[in-house]
Structure 1
Amino acid sequence: MQAKKPRHTTRIAALAWPILVGQLAVIANGVIDTAMTSRFSATDLAALAVGASIYVSVFVGLSGVLQALSPIIAQLFGAQRFDDIGVEIKQGAWLAVFLSVIGCVALLFPQPLLSMAHASPELTEKCTLYLRILTLALPVTLGFRIYGAFNTAIGRPKALMAIQIISLLLKVPLNALFIFGGFGLPAFGGPGCAMATAVVAWLMALLAWIILRTDRSYRVYAIFNSGFVPPKWAAQLALLKLGIPMGLSYLIEVTAFTFMALFIARIGDTAVAGHQITANFATVLYMLPLSIASATSTLVAQAIGARDMEKARRVGLSGIRLAAILSVTIGCMVWLTRDWIVRAYTPNETIIAAALPLFFFIAFYQLFDAVQVTTAFVLRAYKVAVIPTVMYAVALWGVGLGGGYVLGLDPFGVSPPALRGAAGFWFGNSASLALVAAGLLWYLHVVQRDAMRNG
């Protein structure tokens, strides 16, 4: 009797859980930064909120371009074209070098973005130092992104998870050393988080290189045995054709939060500190649907590479359904435990009062966020990214950020009192996620229908 094949939901869950653990380890770095810096000073926490928002915008936009490797490698893996995977990885490494130059320039000269926050000179100085230190981390962090995309695409996320957990264990003592000082080092406050991040980033990249070099199971992909390979412009253009719209969609999504932080900073340090705690926890919650989305995208792309379009369709729908159900459940749990969650971040009663009302929004929009990210990743498995990026721009920048500006800062005197301040920005963001989720679901139906006809 033939063994029963595992259900698509089971396969997605088996691939998603190590991705989730690894992503939570990465996000825990930000949680640790926020929690430890909040115990140093409110000004340093505000500087971290603004500085981290800018860095994440730069990093996510650039690493999003490199994420084009994931569906490409997954499709090659599904087609069992293993030698071509090594070729793509080498070209991805060159692309990471080029992107690092762009990113480091943005981090070294952040004044145009910082000026939008109308922040105090002390806060601006701390943000600038924080961002300039992170230029040491950006190149190797982008390089590690290639390792992550490769392992996820071939269905080996546990190797990635192990390194991410090790990095988290190193981050805590390094943060304590650089933030609060010790062993002859002064207390750097918020910028100390960047110093710890840079040290950990280099150690992660070194460990990933050693594993790729010594683990025999990677030899089939011909990563190291072909010698020096120069950048091939046709391959670079192919990566950019898919990677640029993917990177832009990441950038649009993250900058919606970046500009929220910059605009909320105009209200005051307490408001932006409350926003930082809320945004940080929302990012933690986002890791669950993001992990499901990544696992679903990998399995869909592998099915497409094997030319099984019906399987690709069924796996995609299973992933979206799983992400939606889990996110609604978690949203309810967050609302019921919101007071405990905020107090775990900070003992400051003023910041707690600023953050608590915002937790209504992150509990409310879990469904929309889960559906949009999973659907977007399934579309990327089909190598479709341009139209979703346009949808992100209209919804998140137009409806979300534009509507949030009108409600939160109330320049026209029309905003209800309950939505003035940070709450207005969070309401606009929630509405934009609902809009983009609906649009992406409709477009996925169109793409899957066409793929079934042509496949």
Structure 2
Amino acid sequence: MMTTQTRDTLKELLNLAWPVVLARIGIMTMGLTDAIVVGHYASRELAYHSLAWAPSSVVLTTAVGLMMGVQIVTARLRGEGRHGEIGAVLRRGMVYALQIGIASMLALSIFGPWVMQSVHFGEGLGEGASGPLVVFALSMPFYLVSVAAQFFLEGLSKPKPGMWAMWVANGVNIGLNLLLVPDLPGLGFDGAIASAWATFGARLALAVFLVIYIVRLPEAKAWNLWVKPARDRVTEREQVKVGVGAGASNFFEVGGFAAMTLIAGLLGANETASWAIVINMSAIVFMLPMGLSSATGVLVGRAYGARDRAGVMRAGLVGIGVVAALALVVALVIWPTSELLVRIYTLDPALVAIAAPALVLATLFFVADGIQVVAAQANRAAGDVWWPSIMHFVSYVLIMMPIGWVLAHRMGVDGLVWAVIIASLVSGALLTGRFLRVARRLP
């Protein structure tokens, strides 16, 4: 029977999670919009877009992980009752966002096209992907500013503004895609690079919306948002440490998936586009556990700050249980409708024949993938920063990448999906076991 405390935790988790889930779905809806508009414009342009997104997604997701300290440390300070120090977390976060964003922009712009054209993809795929990659790079600083702002609000248990901001940005993205991809204004560019410019405009709008919202909040003065904080090296180090740990995990995981995309690129244009459809749909589903992981991290972090060991365990296990149940429901819905979902992206019979069965197979990793991301965030919020990164390295680099290489050349896109299934099962088991051990050992 569920206790009153567990019921209260579940209620608070769901109240925090649904706006975050919708915000995370909004992130992927941008990618879905891009893929649908570009895919219906030209299948080859969808392959360009997919290849350009692969390296940029590794850098972007790693950078987003580096910002995770904003959310976790904000939640912990609330749990400790140190409300006057919350503004310092956001100030540091914004500085980190600009530093990391500019560095990422320069790295992608300089090295990205060289990598694209050095790998022998064939069929002109590398050259076609270089332009969109550079445009994605230019939007990095704006996007990371928006991430810092969104994580700050989530750490304060105020996730709804971030949700609304994300959907405003989606409206901007849809409008720009429909306008630019077919080059209705006659600007001289279309397809994948035009869609990348639509993403640029949407990310800029998102950052502006969230920054204006935060600076207008009446609580900003109580948080000392406008006061230069005294140096607190312990909190600074913790914010950086949480971010580096999360960034490393994201790098290993997304880097592994980017490697899968590059392997698909070596198989041919149809395989690349089909894998793009499967992984985009899977990524949209993944936003559900991502949102739940964020809410779980806030509750665990707050309990950790309040030195509430039972609260840490309860919040983590409730989050893991909820994500397992919801991911199973989603898998059971997508399984019989996979071909209809693929046809949203493309009507090309060759692509549908490859992508539809691969999407059916992908439903097998939804539950394990959801559990691993929630468990990883619960571990970080409970002070265990480095083991989740190590476990992601084992699962997605040492296991998934070599298995994906072997199976892809034997089974095509289905082989890539089997590699993800195996890696997700390993990661989910390791991280859940680690959380149970960490929570039991807390003082």
Q: TM-score, normalised by structure 2?
A: 0.94
Aligned runs of 1:140-155 on 2, under 5 Å? 140-155=142-157
The alignment status of 1:310 with 2:310, answered yes or no, reads: yes
Residues 18/281 of structure 1: CA separation in 2 closer, same or farther (3 Å cut): same
Per-residue CA deviations over 1:283-329 (Å, capped at 9, x if unaligned) read 01011111111111111111111222111211111110011011112
- The separation in 2 between residues aligned to 1:78 and 1:439, in whole angstroms, is 28
Partner of residue 436, structure 1? 427
The alignment status of 1:299 with 2:290, answered yes or no, reads: no
Partner of residue 245, structure 2? 245
The alignment status of 1:190 with 2:181, answered yes or no, reads: no
Partner of residue 425, structure 1? 416
Per-residue CA deviations over 1:207-266 (Å, capped at 9, x if unaligned) read 21211122213332121x225x79988765443322212101011111111110111111
Residue 359 of structure 2 aligns to a residue whose secondary structure is: helix
Residues 242/386 of structure 1: CA separation in 2 closer, same or farther (3 Å cut): same
Residue 446 of structure 1 aligns to a residue whose secondary structure is: helix
Q: Partner letter of residue 426 of structure 1?
A: V
Residue 267 of structure 2 aligns to a residue whose secondary structure is: coil
- The separation in 1 between residues aligned to 2:73 and 2:376, in whole angstroms, is 16
Residue 197 of structure 1 aligns to a residue whose secondary structure is: helix
Residues 220/44 of structure 1: CA separation in 2 closer, same or farther (3 Å cut): same
**Match for residue 170 of structure 1 among 165, 169, 172:** 172
2:289–2:373 Cα contact (<8 Å) kept: yes
- The separation in 1 between residues aligned to 2:230 and 2:129, in whole angstroms, is 37
Per-residue CA deviations over 1:16-72 (Å, capped at 9, x if unaligned) read 111111111121110010001012212211011111111111100111111122111
Aligned runs of 1:324-335 on 2, under 5 Å? 324-335=324-335
1:94–1:231 Cα contact (<8 Å) kept: no
- The separation in 1 between residues aligned to 2:208 and 2:344, in whole angstroms, is 34
Partner of residue 270, structure 2? 270
The alignment status of 1:94 with 2:95, answered yes or no, reads: yes
- The separation in 1 between residues aligned to 2:231 and 2:205, in whole angstroms, is 26
Partner of residue 214, structure 1? 216
- The separation in 2 between residues aligned to 1:140 and 1:234, in whole angstroms, is 28
- The separation in 1 between residues aligned to 2:61 and 2:176, in whole angstroms, is 24
2:293–2:377 Cα contact (<8 Å) kept: yes
Partner of residue 56, structure 1? 57
Partner of residue 139, structure 1? 141
1:44–1:123 Cα contact (<8 Å) kept: no
Partner of residue 39, structure 1? 40
Residue 227 of structure 2 aligns to a residue whose secondary structure is: coil
Residues 127/353 of structure 1: CA separation in 2 closer, same or farther (3 Å cut): same
User: How far apart are residue 122 of structure 1 and its match?
Assistant: 3.6
Moved more, 124-133 or 288-297: 124-133
Structure 1 vs Structure 2: percent identity of aligned residues?
24
Moved more, 127-136 or 165-174: 127-136
- The separation in 2 between residues aligned to 1:70 and 1:240, in whole angstroms, is 12
Q: Partner letter of residue 424 of structure 1?
A: G
Residues 98/396 of structure 1: CA separation in 2 closer, same or farther (3 Å cut): same
Q: TM-score, normalised by structure 1?
A: 0.92
- The separation in 2 between residues aligned to 1:271 and 1:230, in whole angstroms, is 55
Partner of residue 126, structure 2? 124
User: How far apart are residue 350 of structure 1 and its match?
Assistant: 0.8
Residues 199/105 of structure 1: CA separation in 2 closer, same or farther (3 Å cut): same
Partner of residue 65, structure 1? 66
Partner of residue 392, structure 2? 392
2:80–2:305 Cα contact (<8 Å) kept: yes
- The separation in 2 between residues aligned to 1:104 and 1:80, in whole angstroms, is 37
Unpaired stretches in structure 2, ≥5 consecutive residues: none
Residue 81 of structure 2 aligns to a residue whose secondary structure is: coil
Q: CA RMSD in A?
A: 1.9
Q: Partner letter of residue 376 of structure 1?
A: A
1:152–1:298 Cα contact (<8 Å) kept: yes
**Match for residue 446 of structure 1 among 406, 416, 437:** 437
Residues 230/203 of structure 1: CA separation in 2 closer, same or farther (3 Å cut): farther
- The separation in 2 between residues aligned to 1:104 and 1:344, in whole angstroms, is 32
User: How far apart are residue 78 of structure 1 and its match?
Assistant: 1.3
Residue 365 of structure 1 aligns to a residue whose secondary structure is: helix
Unpaired stretches in structure 1, ≥5 consecutive residues: 410-414
> How many residues were matched structurally?
438
1:178–1:188 Cα contact (<8 Å) kept: yes
Residues 356/116 of structure 1: CA separation in 2 closer, same or farther (3 Å cut): farther
Partner of residue 412, structure 1? none
Residues 121/351 of structure 1: CA separation in 2 closer, same or farther (3 Å cut): closer
Partner of residue 201, structure 1? 203
Q: Partner letter of residue 150 of structure 2?
A: G
Partner of residue 320, structure 1? 320
**Match for residue 159 of structure 1 among 144, 158, 161:** 161
Residues 434/406 of structure 1: CA separation in 2 closer, same or farther (3 Å cut): same
Residues 286/116 of structure 1: CA separation in 2 closer, same or farther (3 Å cut): farther
Q: Partner letter of residue 208 of structure 1?
A: L
